[in-house]
Amino acid sequence: MPLARIQIKGHMLWRGPHPIAEGAQKVDFVADEAYEVTPLAQGFADVLNQVASQGYARWEVGATQSVFGKNFAPFGLVQGRHFMEYDLVYMAHGMLFWGARNIDGRGFDKEENRPTNLQIPLVRR
């Protein structure tokens, strides 16, 4: 069951080669243009109304709100700081690979947490 639709807009900062594979690149994703959340399930909207009500209208299913530049505890967003992830990008044989999530649950919030493994590839159609 889908819980939410998230729209993030920003930039990719290319940081140079990543050692995972020849041609892989370190990339930082920065949400410096927009970050919007739309609850798609009533249970999720109810949770947001309990933990993310200050500075927001009442959360309702299908109603989009901007969390850009604001505190938004459910996603660890802090007012005045852009969301950013230290990731990697690798392309091979018409497939796009991103970094795989760390198995211990660490986010990609620091350079030392940048992924060291690849996810299952995306195929261009």
Domain count, the chain: 1
pLDDT at 122 over 90: no
pLDDT at 26 over 90: yes
- 51-92 residue pLDDT tens: 999 999 999 999 999 999 999 999 999 999 999 999 999 999
**Domain carrying residue 43:** 4-123
- State the pLDDT at residue 2: 94
Q: Name every residue whose Cβ is closer than 8 Å to that of residue 84 and which is 6 or more positions away in sequence.
A: 28, 29, 30, 31, 109
pLDDT at 123 over 80: no
pLDDT at 31 over 90: yes
Region 31-36: mean pLDDT is 98
